[in-house]
Structure 1
Amino acid sequence: MKTVNIKVLLLLLLIPISIFSQEENKRPKFITVTTGYWNMDYENFDKEKWIATEKEFLDNVTKKNEYVLGASVYLHRFTPDNSEIIFVTAYPSWEAIEKSSLRNEELIKSAWSNEADRKEYFKKRNAYYAHTHSDEIYVPIGNAKPIKLEDAKKELVWLAVKGHFAYPEEGTKEEFLKLNKEFIDNVIMKNDLIKGYYQHGHAWGSDKTEFSRAVAFESMDDLDKSYKKSDELFKAHWNTEEKRKEFRKKMGKYFTPNHGDFIYTSVPELSK
């Protein structure tokens, strides 16, 4: 796998919230990402029973919460910690994040009206997880490649890329947006191996320079093949070495040289 191909493929930028304010209302304005961890001492773990337990909460609470636009769950595939489990929730506004918590409480009491039943359910649910978790809030960045409904129903492989913005003095928001859109239109959108593509900038968390990108594939084989396909599309659009070099130089200045790659598997049964 050529280094330069990876560098070009993994482009993304933290962009101010105001850039998204005029986008259609159906798009989420904020996304929370909770990184939880399995209780590794849980005996006789059964994935189907775990899914059934979480689906009970999904059907009775998350799907009925009007402040939640979408929700999904991702399991470790290739990450530094095999106990990771990622919960992603999308909201239409900052206010909705706060209101959704109160709404969840109402729906929980409605679904498990008997206190003893409620305690029993959450004891069973919480037993799957360790006590520790971390939360981050991101802002969706435009130029997404939305997943088709038929693909969203499948178990997909997700590549999550985390990097950092370099804040170049000679850079401008306008230049980046133009370069970013040109790359996405001519590479990401034309690569049929990429089933979904989403960019996110930091909104609230431990590092304001963080940017992330999530890319969906049907299989690990498609993930590997996509690099070659993207390289072909890149060379077709920037059809001389001089043009390719110029684009890499312009775009490269917006990013620090370091990034991290993480691969997860979606759980389609637990999505809203």
Structure 2
Amino acid sequence: MKTTNRMMLLLAMLLIVGVGMTYAQEAPERPQYITVTTMHWNMDLKDFKMDEWKAVEKEFLDKVTSKNEHVVSAGFYLHRMTPDNTELLYVQAFPTWNDIDLAAKKNGDLIEAAWPNEKAREAFFDKRNKYYSAYHSDEIYATMPNAKLFNDDNMTENKILYVRTGHFAYPKDGNGDEFRKAFDDYALHVFHKNEYIKGYYPQAHAYGADRTVFVEAFILDSMADLEKMFDRNDELVKSHWKDEADREKMNKLVEKYFTPVHSDAVYTVVAGLRK
């Protein structure tokens, strides 16, 4: 488990040595930025029903988000194993930084078109807003290369999202070529070959409270597959780096470039509320 966990963090080294932009230029069709809004349930709401909440958000999805060309994808992620049981995440992906602002403006136009009557519009958003507390926070992340894309076109059942957050140590003697190769090798030979990982999305801080943050998001079919994922990663690591000395060399690189601090969280991917 030690090798696998540390190897997950190795992928972030690209940002330190400045080669992330090269990857982005090679694959411009991918979203460049991810916004994560951490919201909180209104715990004073006495008559909460999950199906009713889903119906309200599905109406907004169908009438607004799905018609906004500036939003590549969007979805809700509910608390499963996190420090705060009131939280839920709303995540959106955008082609460029400018699209974040353009999407907000387009949402306004789509909202007025969907609910042209002002009283009807106010009634809908009163109904929608009652589910949430007034407090929320936002972060923007830059997408990283070598993602394993999850095809959710026919997703009818909830999935599991495992999120690992690590932190850069920012060494002064980083080597871009060395870490780009390590990034490619590990992602392609471990994550992309791990049958339990249905989707893998590495992201690094772009705008927010902590510039050291590196986030890895893994989509799995079930909670049972989480431990299987770690075991399979270990097998694939040993299969690709057969020499123990090579694996130890990789561990030492990770220890140099990253702090020993990380956090883990698990969310439910809500089927039916995804663009």
Counting matched residue pairs gives 271
Preserved CA contact (<8 Å) 1:176 1:251: no
Q: Deviations over 1:101-140 (max 9, x none)?
A: 1111111011011000001000000000000000000110
Deviates further, 137-146 or 232-241: 232-241
- Superposed counterparts of 1:1-272, under 5 Å: 2-13=1-12, 15=15, 16=18, 18-149=21-152, 152-272=155-275
Secondary structure in structure 2 of the residue aligned to 1:42: coil
Q: CA deviation at 1:20?
A: 3.9
Aligned residues with identical type, % of pairs: 44
Secondary structure in structure 2 of the residue aligned to 1:68: coil
**Compared with structure 1, are the counterparts of its residues 129 and 105 closer, same or farther at alpha carbon in structure 2 (3 Å cutoff)?**
same
Preserved CA contact (<8 Å) 1:9 1:227: no
Q: Distance in 2 between matches of 1:182 and 1:176?
A: 10
Preserved CA contact (<8 Å) 1:12 1:211: no
Q: Distance in 1 between matches of 2:245 and 2:154?
A: 38
Secondary structure in structure 2 of the residue aligned to 1:103: helix
Q: Deviations over 1:20-77 (max 9, x none)?
A: 4413343101111000000011112111110000011100000111111111110000
**Compared with structure 1, are the counterparts of its residues 10 and 219 closer, same or farther at alpha carbon in structure 2 (3 Å cutoff)?**
farther
Q: CA deviation at 1:11?
A: 3.7
**Compared with structure 1, are the counterparts of its residues 9 and 208 closer, same or farther at alpha carbon in structure 2 (3 Å cutoff)?**
closer
RMSD (Å) for aligned C-alpha atoms: 1.6
Return structure 1 stretches of 4+ with deviation > 4 angstroms. 150-153
Q: Distance in 2 between matches of 1:19 and 1:261?
A: 29
**Compared with structure 1, are the counterparts of its residues 20 and 153 closer, same or farther at alpha carbon in structure 2 (3 Å cutoff)?**
farther
Q: Distance in 1 between matches of 2:245 and 2:27?
A: 38
Secondary structure in structure 1 of the residue aligned to 2:59: helix
Q: CA deviation at 1:169?
A: 1.9
Deviates further, 248-257 or 179-188: 248-257
Q: Distance in 2 between matches of 1:49 and 1:148?
A: 26
Preserved CA contact (<8 Å) 2:168 2:214: yes
Deviates further, 2-11 or 92-101: 2-11
- Structure 2 gaps of 5+ residues are none
Q: Distance in 2 between matches of 1:27 and 1:5?
A: 27
Q: Match for 1:72: what amino acid?
A: G
Preserved CA contact (<8 Å) 1:12 1:213: no
Q: Distance in 1 between matches of 2:8 and 2:112?
A: 47
Q: CA deviation at 1:5?
A: 3.4
Preserved CA contact (<8 Å) 2:146 2:187: yes
Preserved CA contact (<8 Å) 1:145 1:196: yes
- Structure 1 gaps of 5+ residues are none
Q: Distance in 2 between matches of 1:11 and 1:250?
A: 8
Secondary structure in structure 2 of the residue aligned to 1:136: strand
Secondary structure in structure 2 of the residue aligned to 1:236: helix
Preserved CA contact (<8 Å) 2:6 2:254: no
Question: TM-score, length-normalised on structure 2?
Answer: 0.94
Secondary structure in structure 2 of the residue aligned to 1:270: coil
Preserved CA contact (<8 Å) 1:137 1:205: yes
Q: Distance in 2 between matches of 1:135 and 1:173?
A: 30
